[in-house]
């Protein structure tokens, strides 16, 4: 056993080397500890999983493992981290742009499938809060990789104007047990019994309380009110609605499917054009969203611009709206966004099942 | 673009000089010269944008026409 002063010296050494780059202490990464992660995932340590082309930097499986150790993960979390990084490598996610931007983006990770039970990923009470090792350390690993591997430090390459607490970790499970609807990964075409992780860039999280509603409209118009802040509506935006099970089950009891709910949210998330005319510095003609004949500006372009997930406890009528980091350019006729545009789309990736011994 | 022989002028506002210099270093051009205009930009009227453009024009011409882009001291 290491002596107390050795433990403290090792932690201090990691601070001195700059590895505790989110400000919290890290687990000192020994080669043996890192090897356990590499053995578990059975991947080539030199294989590149994610890149940031504009700054010519890459993250290998080994570097990801070192940061997973430092973040406090268990080896069995590592395949989820690799799948999340591979999802971020997808151009639709915009890995470099979202990390560099003034828009203060935090990577949101949503985990689906039996893996939530296996690893103990929290999807219930306090789902966005602390207390659960997978949620705390899987999300933290992604952030440590952005900092330690890619050098995205605040003030240089990370220009986040204000940041947000989700940048420590923002990782949740979907509460599939208490959801009345098909889970996110099944909606995206993966088998129900598969494990999956979805990544998306979040700008902020706002809780929506509605404990008195007796019908779907009462819940959904309350959520829409939070979705439709001016700063989101003035550009094409996706929105993540993390609906509490109580809200979801109330809506489902009235016979509404998940698709019905997304359609309602999409159709009604709009602001009247005059709400822009009240702002002296915003020219309504420069609002980037389509305007319909009735003088409303839509938030999204299709019901697929609503990322609807059920999570949280079944103890109150509470949901959360996550406002998006990026514009929604990539949905326009399936076209790729022009270079330099802060576009963002969510990406779902299957997590390989552990090998049976 | 500069590396491919296309004359290039980078313009950024005062708020982004740190990131511009970090990026120049990553690209292997630590002394890369660029044009700096006052911040902010997004909230300006069209007329104010034109004023900024006129203000920085001589610098852009110099960046595009000089042989290399060493930083002026």
Is pLDDT of A308 > 50? Answer: yes
Gap between the Cα atoms of A285 and A276, Å rounded: 10
Which single residue is written with the structure tokens 């219930």? A124
Most confidently modeled range among A171-175, A300-304, B48-52: A171-175
Is pLDDT of A236 > 70? Answer: no
Report which of B10, B4, B16 is spatially closest to residue B69, judged by C-alpha positions: B10
Gap between the Cα atoms of A157 and A54, Å rounded: 11
> Rounded to the nearest 5 degrees, what angle is found at the Cα of A66, between the Cα atoms of A76 and A18?
140
Per-residue pLDDT, B66: 84
Tell me the chain A residues in contact with residue B12 when contact means C-beta distances shorter than 8 Å: none
Give the pLDDT mean for A288-305.
73
Per-residue pLDDT, B72: 46
- What are the phi and psi torsion angles at B21 (to 5°)? -70, -35
Task: Give the residue from chain A lying closest to B15, CA to CA.
Answer: A159
Residue B5, Cβ neighbours under 10 Å: how many?
7
Give the pLDDT mean for A55-76.
97
Per-residue pLDDT, A335: 39
Beta strands at A306-310 and A239-243: parallel, antiparallel or unpaired: parallel
Q: For chain B, state the CA radius of gyration.
A: 13
Which single residue is written with the structure tokens 């828009």? A103
Any idea which of A130-134, A353-357, B47-51, B52-56 has the lowest mean pLDDT?
A353-357
Question: How distant is the Cα of B49 from the closest Cα of chain A, in angstroms?
Answer: 14
Query: Given an 8 Å threshold on Cβ–Cβ distance, is B22 in contact with A56?
Result: no
Per-residue pLDDT, A309: 98
Is pLDDT of A98 > 60? Answer: yes
Report which of A355, A43, A356, A348 is spatially closest to residue A196, judged by C-alpha positions: A348
Gap between the Cα atoms of A155 and A308, Å rounded: 34
A159 vs B19, B27, B43: nearest CB: B19
Give the pLDDT mean for A63-69.
98
Question: How distant is the Cα of B19 from the closest Cα of chain A, in angstroms?
Answer: 5
Gap between the Cα atoms of A239 and B47, Å rounded: 35
Any idea which of A203-212, A233-242, A274-283, A327-336 has the lowest mean pLDDT?
A327-336
Q: Which B-chain residues 17-56 have CB contacts (< 8 A) with chain A?
A: 18-19, 22-23, 26-27, 43
pTM score, whole prediction:
0.90
H-helix or E-strand spanning residue A50: strand A48-52
Per-residue pLDDT, A292: 59
Give me the torsion for CA of A285, A286, A289, A290, rounded to 10°.
30
B18 vs A56, A100, A155: nearest CB: A155
Query: Given an 8 Å threshold on Cβ–Cβ distance, is B19 in contact with A54?
Result: no
Q: Read out DSSP for B2-59?
A: GGGT-----EEEGGGHHHHHHHHHHTT-TTB--EEE-S--TT--HHHHHHHHHHHHHH
Any idea which of A320-334, B11-25, B26-40, B48-62 has the lowest mean pLDDT?
A320-334
- What are the phi and psi torsion angles at A261 (to 5°)? -65, -45
Task: Give the residue from chain A lying closest to B44, CA to CA.
Answer: A281
In this prediction, residue A333 has a pLDDT band, given cuts at 50, 70 and 90, of very low
Residue A162 neighbours by CB under 8 Å, 6+ apart: A104
Give the pLDDT mean for A113-136.
98
H-helix or E-strand spanning residue A309: strand A306-310
Any idea which of A16-25, A46-55, A222-231, A286-295 has the lowest mean pLDDT?
A286-295
% of residues, chain A, pLDDT over 90: 75
What number is the ipTM of this complex? 0.77
Burial class (CB in 10 A: 0-12, 13-18, 19+), B36: middle
Per-residue pLDDT, B50: 93
Is pLDDT of B67 > 80? Answer: no
Is pLDDT of A240 > 70? Answer: yes
Per-residue pLDDT, A357: 52
In this prediction, residue A165 has a pLDDT band, given cuts at 50, 70 and 90, of very high
């Amino acid at each position: 056993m290491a002596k107390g002063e050795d433990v403290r010296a090792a932690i201090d050494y990691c601070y001195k080397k700059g590895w505790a780059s989110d400000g919290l202490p890290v687990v000192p990464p020994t080669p043996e500890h890192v090897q356990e992660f590499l053995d578990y995932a059975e991947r080539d340590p030199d294989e590149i999983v994610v890149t940031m082309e504009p700054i010519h930097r890459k993250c290998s499986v080994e570097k990801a493992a070192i940061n997973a150790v430092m973040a406090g993960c268990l080896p069995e979390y590592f395949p989820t981290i690799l799948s999340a990084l591979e999802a971020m490598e997808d151009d639709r996610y915009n890995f470099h742009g979202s990390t560099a931007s003034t828009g203060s983006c935090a990577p949101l990770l949503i985990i689906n499938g039996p893996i939530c039970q296996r690893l103990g990923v929290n999807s219930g009470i306090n789902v966005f809060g602390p207390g659960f090792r997978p949620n705390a350390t899987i999300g933290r690993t992604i952030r440590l990789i952005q900092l330690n591997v890619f050098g995205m430090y605040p003030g240089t390459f990370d220009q986040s104007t204000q940041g947000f607490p989700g940048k420590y970790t923002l990782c949740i499970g979907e509460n599939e047990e208490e959801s009345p609807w098909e889970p996110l990964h099944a909606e995206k075409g993966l088998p129900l019994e598969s494990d999956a992780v979805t990544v998306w860039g979040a700008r902020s999280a706002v809780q929506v309380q509605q404990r008195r509603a007796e019908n779907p409209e009462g819940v959904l118009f309350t959520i829409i009110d939070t979705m439709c802040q001016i700063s989101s509506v003035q550009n094409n935006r996706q929105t993540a609605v993390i609906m509490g099970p109580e809200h979801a089950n109330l809506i489902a009891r009235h016979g509404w499917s998940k698709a019905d709910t997304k359609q309602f949210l999409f159709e009604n998330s709009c602001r009247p054009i005059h709400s822009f005319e009240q702002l002296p510095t915003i020219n309504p003609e420069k609002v980037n969203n389509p305007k319909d004949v009735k003088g409303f500006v839509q938030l999204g372009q299709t019901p697929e611009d609503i990322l609807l997930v059920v999570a949280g406890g079944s103890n109150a009528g509470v949901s959360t709206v996550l406002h998006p980091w990026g514009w929604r350019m990539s949905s326009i006729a399936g076209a790729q966004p022009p270079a330099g545009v802060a576009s963002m789309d969510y990406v779902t990736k299957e997590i390989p099942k552990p090998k049976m011994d | 673009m500069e590396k491919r022989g296309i004359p290039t002028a980078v313009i950024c506002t005062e708020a982004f000089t740190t990131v511009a210099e970090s990026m120049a270093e990553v690209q292997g051009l630590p002394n890369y010269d660029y044009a700096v205009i006052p911040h902010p930009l997004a909230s300006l009227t069209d007329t104010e944008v034109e004023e900024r453009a006129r203000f920085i024009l001589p610098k852009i011409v110099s960046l595009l026409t000089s042989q290399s882009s060493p930083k002026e001291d």
